[in-house]
Structure 1
């Protein structure tokens, strides 16, 4: 199966080192540009592991946009549906790392190019039951994104296409964070696989209701929910079983792409085991299958946190030996 990733591809401006505090003049850490964006990271993760992936996005007709398309091509991600536009610039995310490798974000996404993906653009995308559509909650973070996202989800459903949602909640992405719980819930009811962090579920639905929300998604037809929790065990939940696996200890340098590496690894593993949606529905009902896929995904994420950046930090098969 092929993995089709929809959403933003952007520049991560990643902080380097520490600011100079010896002089009187205030200074900042230097920032190094890296190719990134959560859906794009997943596309690259799948490709680097040896799978087939494609990116669906828009970038500005600018230096950053050209760089991003070249980087995706370098990592063997299909870019036939990464369009250039003069209507917006390529998005930027400034990522500051603390001494534990944890991130804080400042996004520059007003009128970003990826917000100009239209229904007409997506009408050219082939949807079928041997392709997985992967997207993040950022695809419903603003009113300008809703029509095209609604369109592709309905198109996927009509064509029996498997859909994966990484909640990947970034408040700074949203026009109004008050809209986030309902919009994400609406998306979640239309997919087969959900990946979320425990922190995201609590932020969106509250600590007392997070597990109830997961059960509601399963009752609506979601096949598996994967819940990460930093360095704590990963939980996987289906309508018939639950399980958890510990995350290995790692020398954490940068957690920027860890979650994307995890879900990219999970999707790649799945696509090596099944060839269409019906086969997946049978496959995911087996505890051992989901456990094995989750263990592989954890190994991918654990490798990524030991590296800097996004695309560069994602593992190949050789890195996991």
Structure 2
């Protein structure tokens, strides 16, 4: 099964080391550029494990955009659908890390190239029942993005592809955060696989309503909801069973791509276990299958937080076997 990942590919400017010391002169930590962007991280995560993945995005006609396309190709991600927007900028995300490796973000996304992905661009992409579409809520965050995303979402569904949404809520991406709960809800009801963090669910729908929202999505046809909680247990909920699995204790240095590694690992495992959507529907109803796939995804996320960066932190099978 081929995994197509729709959305932003950008530059993560990751804070490094100690703050420069020049007497009383104010200074900031240095930043090092890494290739990143949540959907792109998922595409690389699948490819690193030996899966078949493609990126669907746009980059700017700048040095950052050229770098990102070359990095995707280096990691064996298909870039046939990574277009260049000559008059747009490649998005930048400045990522500050605290002493526990937790992140805070400053996004520079004005006139970002990935915001110019159009329905006309996406009409060139075809789906079959042996493919999957993955996207994040950033692709719902502005009106122009929303129309193209819903177009390709319906196209994928109509052609029998498995569709996966990682909520990955980033308020700075949204033209109006008041639109986020309803837009995400509308898209979520149309996917087969949904991943969210407990923090995101609480922020979007309220802690007292989060579990009810999960059940609402399952009733609408979602096959599985995966809920992460930082380094805490991961919950999986399907239409017929649910459970939790613990995460291993590791030394955390950078959580930048942890969730992406998790869902990328899950999608990779799925792509090797089933050949098409019909097989998926039977596979997902087996609790042993779901536990095995979720456990593998947890191992992928756990490895990633022990490394700096995004693409470079995503595990291979050799990494997982150490």
**Partners of 1:97 and 1:104 within 8 A in 2:** yes
Partner SS, residue 221 of structure 2:
coil
**Partners of 2:94 and 2:107 within 8 A in 1:** yes
Root-mean-square deviation (CA), in Å?
Answer: 0.7
**Partners of 1:59 and 1:65 within 8 A in 2:** yes
Runs of 4+ in 1 over 4 A off after TM superposition: none
Q: Which residue of 1 aligns with 2:187?
A: 187
After TM superposition, the structure 1 stretch with the greater mean CA deviation from structure 2, 150-159 or 221-230, is 150-159
Q: Which residue of 1 aligns with 2:311?
A: 311
1:87 deviates by: 3.2
Equivalent residue runs for 1:1-20 within 5 Å: 1-20=1-20
Deviations 1:239-290 (A, max 9, x none): 1000100000011000000000000000000000000001001000000000
- The whole-number CA distance in structure 2 between the counterparts of 1:20 and 1:80 is 42
After TM superposition, the structure 1 stretch with the greater mean CA deviation from structure 2, 140-149 or 267-276, is 140-149
Q: Which residue of 2 aligns with 1:117?
A: 117
Equivalent residue runs for 1:218-233 within 5 Å: 218-233=218-233
Q: Which residue of 2 aligns with 1:257?
A: 257
Equivalent residue runs for 1:232-311 within 5 Å: 232-311=232-311
- The whole-number CA distance in structure 1 between the counterparts of 2:146 and 2:173 is 14
TM-score, length basis structure 1: 0.99
Q: Which residue of 2 aligns with 1:139?
A: 139
**Partners of 1:174 and 1:180 within 8 A in 2:** yes
Partner SS, residue 143 of structure 2:
coil
- The whole-number CA distance in structure 1 between the counterparts of 2:20 and 2:150 is 48
Q: Which residue of 1 aligns with 2:158?
A: 158
**Partners of 1:87 and 1:116 within 8 A in 2:** no
- The whole-number CA distance in structure 2 between the counterparts of 1:258 and 1:142 is 25
- The whole-number CA distance in structure 1 between the counterparts of 2:254 and 2:288 is 31
- The whole-number CA distance in structure 1 between the counterparts of 2:142 and 2:25 is 39
1:158 deviates by: 1.2
Deviations 1:67-123 (A, max 9, x none): 000000000000000001123110000000000000000000011000111111101
- The whole-number CA distance in structure 2 between the counterparts of 1:316 and 1:212 is 36
- The whole-number CA distance in structure 1 between the counterparts of 2:232 and 2:254 is 17
1:160 deviates by: 1.4
Q: Which residue of 2 aligns with 1:171?
A: 171
TM-score, length basis structure 2: 0.99
Q: Which residue of 2 aligns with 1:28?
A: 28
- The whole-number CA distance in structure 2 between the counterparts of 1:87 and 1:194 is 34
